[in-house]
Amino acid sequence: MISLIDLKRQYKSISQEIIERVKEVFESGQYILGPKVAEFEKKCAEYLNVKHAIGVGNGTDALVIALESLGIGKGDEVITTPFTFFATAEAIVRVGAKPVFVDIDPLSYNIDPEKIEEKISERTKAIIPVHIFGQVCDMKKIVQIAKKYNLYIIEDACQAFGAEFEGKKAGTIGDVGCFSFFPTKNLGGFGDGGLIVTDSDEIASKARMLRQHGSKKKYYNEMIGFNSRLDEVQAAILLVKIKYIDMWNRRRIEIAQKFSQELKLDGLVTPKKCNNFEFGHIYHLYILQHEKRDLIMEYLAQKGIATGIYYPVPLHLTKALSFLGHKEGDFEVAERLCRRSFAIPMFPELTDEEIEYITTSINQFGGSL
């Protein structure tokens, strides 16, 4: 069986480095906000070319803390996409604000910047563009809109560590950037982890306080915060893996190019890279579209090829967000994509033989009907 992502292969390639780094943590006796977290934060700030990097418990907490650091809360509105993981909207609701959805661009699957302005109201405080599947949004247009209406930009870059737009890394273009180190991410740990990045001293100071019960100094709490700290063990693991992130992302791009060149099934829609930057799309997932998606997925399962659906339900139609009052047809592009799209295996350790087997199997689907 070819998995969607095989984490064991990556571990085998760097296992000795991981074991040595983790052993250092165990022997140090410093397990919370220790030297490995500080080192990893410094390494991320250097890699991303940003002033501040703050490690937190997970990507969802990164979004919540970013929103709170900007003072966004009850009565405010935040514009985002309905085609993303639930955490994006969940974080907005968690701070008491209202998610306002904008449909997606049919080529990039990212929020359509041409539709943002019509959703801006007096209550709008921020835009959360999501760099979905590793492709950076059209940040030039989004930044222009944000400046025009004096809005914050919080980049949800949880699927895009290492991606670029016009010479800047994803997550560093807006006011705040948020990352997830969930194990399946391009840069993933061996558990949960997240990161907040910003060039603002004020935002960084608030984020650091919020991640640790609202305090700069232990027991001297200045605000109501969270218990959300990047684990020292995860930081040690990520310090090893960040050295390889560009190499792994390049391999993902190479695999994606092979898929796109070789897939010939009638009616199959392959991902479109919508910019010319080397890391403009780093293929966290490789997403296909077809009217007969479910049949293709069943066929591939019989061939020993794993597939997945990202995402089966757009956020505006989820039960948890029904209070927003949306109905089917409100965001047609996102809804259509949820009905038609599916992911095939994508991870740097895929072999050329496996890539050929996957593409051949998909191309042969038409003859199986």
User: In this structure, are strands 220-221 and 215-217 parallel, antiparallel, or unpaired?
Assistant: antiparallel
Residue 148 annotated in active site: no
Question: Cα–Cα distance between 101 and 108 in angstroms, integer?
Answer: 17
Strands (E) located in 48-121: 52-56, 77-80, 98-101
Q: What is the DSSP letter of 32?
A: B
Q: Are 111 and 133 a contacting pair, CB within 8 Å?
A: no
Instruction: Please pick, among 98, 125, 169, 185, the residue that the annotation labels catalytic.
Output: 185
Residue with tokens 């593409």: 359
On whether the CB atoms of residues 152 and 174 are closer than 8 A, the answer is: yes
212 neighbors 81 (Cβ within 8 angstroms):
no
Residues 6 or more apart whose Cβ sits within 8 Å of residue 309: 293, 297, 338, 341, 342, 343
CA distance 336 to 103: 11
What does the DSSP 8-state code read for residue 137? P
H or E element: which one contains 169? strand 168-169
Tokens matching residue 123: 């209550």
Q: How many angstroms separate the CA atoms of 166 and 338, rounded? A: 30
Question: Which bin fits 336, alpha (ψ -120 to 50), beta or left (φ > 0)?
Answer: alpha
Strand partners, 169: 164
**b/e sequence 171-186, b meaning 16+ C-beta within 10 Å:** bbbbbbbbbbbbeebb
Among 135, 132, 190, 179, residue whose Cα is nearest residue 154: 179
Active site residues: 185
